[in-house]
Amino acid sequence: MRTADRSQAGQALVLAVALLAAVAAGLVQLFDGGQLLREKARLARALDAAAYSGALVQARSLNFLAYANRALVAHQVGMAHAITLASWARFGDTQARRLASSNPPASLIGGLFGAAHGQAYRGAAGAAGAGGAAGWGDGALARAFAEHDRVVHDVLVRAQAAVQQSLADTRLHSMQAVLAAHYDDDAAHLDTALLADTLPGFVVRHGGASRGRLKDMVEEANAHYGFLAPRDHDRRSLLPTEWRCPWLRHELRRRGATALMGLDAWRSVDTLSFHALRSNRWIGCYYR
């Protein structure tokens, strides 16, 4: 019995060693799993921060482009007002000269078309010389127009081009800086190709004839200003003057318009003409 007992001595030690080895392997596996989870969470935080930083740069760039487009439209509307003011000044000056030469007399206009038209015609005397003051050489309106034009072409358009061309690089550098901060300035091992999320054509700069979209925006904005609306009105005399055509009258024809010719040139014209009705036995009624 004693010999059998001595032959079984030490078997518990083997089991204990095997158990300790299993426990050690489990601890190593647990440690490695914890390290993996920690790095995964760290990477997720870094990528989220980098993505947010890139999105923030892109959002600010797109907001700038949008506000620059609105500023372009606003300056174009300012140019339309400046050239329309110049057109009105020349129109008032022309009417003042006609009034001074009685061609036609103010009493005739008032008698044919009503007191309001006669009074307005007489009021043109106050615009005498306005055409010269609004001259397109070195007048105040010309300087205002030139400044609007300079801001459009030399400031806003160039700024938009610079932002559009640098958007992808600026966004990438911002994301790299965030990753470097999360990894103690050691982000060289990261594949930067993963950060290049530029979509072809996502931000497009229109030039030349393709700027027709901007022209549509300008014309839509101008439609909100009555001062820039078409100024076409016809006024007929109160009573008939020719027995051969009693349905016809003397006419005042007001014509005026402000328009964007092409994509850059503004044009504004204002006229007022008196068309006297005449008749004879050979050709009947006609305007003179």
pLDDT (0 to 100) of residue 4: 53
203, 77 contact by CB (below 8 A): no
Q: Which helix (H) or strand (E) holds 209?
A: none
195 inside domain: no
Tokens of 212: 């027709």
72 inside domain: yes
Smallest CA-to-CA distance from 60 within 156, 157, 163 is with 163
Whether the ω angle into residue 105 lies within 30 degrees of 0, i.e. cis, is no
How does pLDDT run along the chain (288 residues), one tens digit per residue? 455 555 555 566 666 666 777 766 666 666 666 667 777 777 788 888 888 888 899 899 989 998 998 998 998 899 899 889 888 888 988 899 888 988 888 888 888 888 888 898 888 888 888 777 777 666 788 888 888 888 888 898 899 889 888 888 888 888 888 888 877 755 545 555 555 666 666 666 666 566 677 888 888 999 999 999 999 999 998 888 888 888 988 899 999 999 988 777 889 999 998 898 888 888 888 888
243 inside domain: yes
Q: How many domains does the chain have?
A: 1
- List the domain range (segments joined by +) for residue 93: 13-190+230-287
67 inside domain: yes
217 inside domain: no
247 inside domain: yes
Tokens of 209: 């004839």
221 inside domain: no
Smallest CA-to-CA distance from 173 within 49, 46, 54 is with 54
Tokens of 10: 């030490």
Contacting residues for 87 by C-beta, under 8 A, at least 6 apart: 256, 258, 268, 269, 270
6 inside domain: no
Contacting residues for 64 by C-beta, under 8 A, at least 6 apart: 159, 163
The Cα–Cα gap between 276 and 81 comes to 33
